[in-house]
Amino acid sequence: MTRASQTISIAFLLSSLYLAIFTEIVPFPEKIQREIVPVIPFWALVSFGAYLLFKLGLGVFTFNDVPEAHKELLGQIKQAREELRAKGVDVGED
C-alpha cells in the first residue's frame, strides 16, 4: 500500500466515522452531540496546523544538525552573490 493510498484510506475512515456521529447513527449523549461534535472538524484543523508549525520549528531549530545541507546552502548563497555581483548588483559583504 502506497503512502498516498494509506493516507486516503485513513481520511475516508475518519470522515465516515465523523459523518456517522454527526448524523446521529452512532448515538451520544445530547450535550456531546450538540456542543462537541459540530466543532470536531475545526479542532482537527487547528491541531493539524499546530502539528505542522511544530514540525517546521523543529526543522529550523535542528538545521545546523545537518552539516551537508548547511554547507550546500552556504555554497548556494555564495554562488548567488557572485552571480549578482557579476551583473552589477550590490549585495553587501560576505
- pLDDT tier for residue 22 given thresholds of 50, 70 and 90: very high
Q: Is residue 78 part of a domain?
A: no
Q: Is residue 71 part of a domain?
A: no
- Specify the pLDDT at position 81: 93
Q: Is residue 68 part of a domain?
A: no
- pLDDT tier for residue 94 given thresholds of 50, 70 and 90: low
Q: Is residue 94 part of a domain?
A: no
Three cell numbers, residue 61: 531549530
Per-residue pLDDT tens for 32-88? 999 999 999 999 999 999 999 999 999 888 876 778 888 899 999 999 999 999 998
Q: Is residue 87 part of a domain?
A: no
Q: Structurally, how many domains does the chain consist of?
A: 1
Three cell numbers, residue 18: 465523523
Q: Is residue 92 part of a domain?
A: no
| pTM given for the model | 0.58
> To the nearest 5 percent, what fractions of the chain are helix, strand and coil?
80, 0, 20
- 13 is in which domain, residue-wise? 3-63
